[in-house]
Amino acid sequence: MSNKKYDYLVFIGRFAPCHVGHQQVITAALEQANNVIILVGSSYRPRTIKNPWTYHERASMIRSTLSPGDHSRVDICPIRDYMYNDDAWINQVQFTVNASIFSNECRSGTLRDAKDLKIGLIGHEKDKSSFYLRLFPQWAHVEHDMNEVVHATDIRSILFQQKNPLYLKGLLPKPIFDSIGDFNKTSEFAELVTEYNFIEQYKEMWKAAPYAPFFVTVDTIVVQSGHVLVVVRDAAPGAGLFALPGGFLEQSEYIECAALRELKEETKIDVPVKVLRGSITKSHVFDHPLRSLRGRTITHAFLIELPPGPLPKVKGSDDARSATWIPFNELRSEDFFEDHWDVINFFVNIT
């Protein structure tokens, strides 16, 4: 019979990478609970300088820090971002935790009723990134102050600036320090360094502005017969990723005109502009402060719903390497630039 206070403690984070601060929280959770559920956020996203490692790589990093006796007590699960749907994110977390508990209870042969279990959510409420701690009142809040000296953002900066890796030795558990050393030798890391330098140079260009710049962009979501029109980006950032047709607003044009112009320029879609304009059914402004790594970028998106029938011919042009129609069931968030998958999902609910 265990004398631990909780049956399950849940720890949510991105772990990009898992550092000694995270390790301290996991250790504290194991001391207080029979089982720990670790939810790895921003799963199913492409590699970026903010999220350099896949879910499986991050899960492997976390497991490498566990003692042999703790492996069976820790369940690591992926959760995806829902940038414009907090309810969907909350539902996902609840579902994932319940599924993990049910699976563990089945393995142990106990199958206790959930209302009889003591479940808690561990984290530091004063941490700006831990707003989620207030979203689950059904679970007890277990306060644990993570090591304030360690920040994953600083670790990634040291990596991408290619500073002496020994700077990281005290910030990372040894197995993770070693695995990151191996990652630094890969082509994926080299591409991320290139993207990091591009973003830093982009920000530097605007550094002398008297006020922090705001960028205004436009995007179009063209759907027909269960397909959505996308392009493949031809340049950094996000070269090779799917994106919505779109771009920056020009000084002399209206926002709707800019959206139609970018759509035509990037896809050469074989539909007259008048028909496209008449097929706009919805529009929305997407202004999440962190939607773009380049800086504060606010986009105005237009949903264009074409009548059922053969898909119009398209061809990539301008900033697009290619243009193509993708069936709804083949849209994967890990293939999309920035928040473009979230924007599509906002309009057509592809999850």
| Alpha carbons 196 and 286: distance in angstroms, whole number | 24
Fold for 215-348, please state it.
Nucleoside Triphosphate Pyrophosphohydrolase (3.90.79)
Annotated domain spans of the chain: 6-183, 215-348
Give me 181's structure tokens: 């050393």
pTM of the predicted structure, to 2 decimals: 0.92
Mean pLDDT, rounded, for 69-86: 95
pLDDT tier, 148 (very low <50, low <70, confident <90, very high otherwise): low
Mean pLDDT, rounded, for 275-300: 96
- Identify the bridge partners of residue 140 per DSSP, sorted by sequence position: 120
Q: Which has more confidence, 346 or 236? A: 346
User: If we measure between CA atoms, which residue out of 298, 305, 282 comes closest to residue 338?
Assistant: 298
Mean pLDDT, rounded, for 320-328: 96
- Identify the bridge partners of residue 326 per DSSP, sorted by sequence position: 228
Mean pLDDT, rounded, for 102-131: 81
CATH number, domain 6-183, options 3.40.50.2000, 3.40.50.620, 3.90.470.20, 1.10.10.410? 3.40.50.620
Q: Is it the case that residue 125 has pLDDT exceeding 80?
A: no
Q: Is it the case that residue 124 has pLDDT exceeding 90?
A: no
pLDDT above 70 covers what percent of the chain?
Answer: 97
Residue 41: C-alpha distances to residues 50, 100, 192, 284 (Å): 12, 16, 20, 26
| Alpha carbons 320 and 346: distance in angstroms, whole number | 23
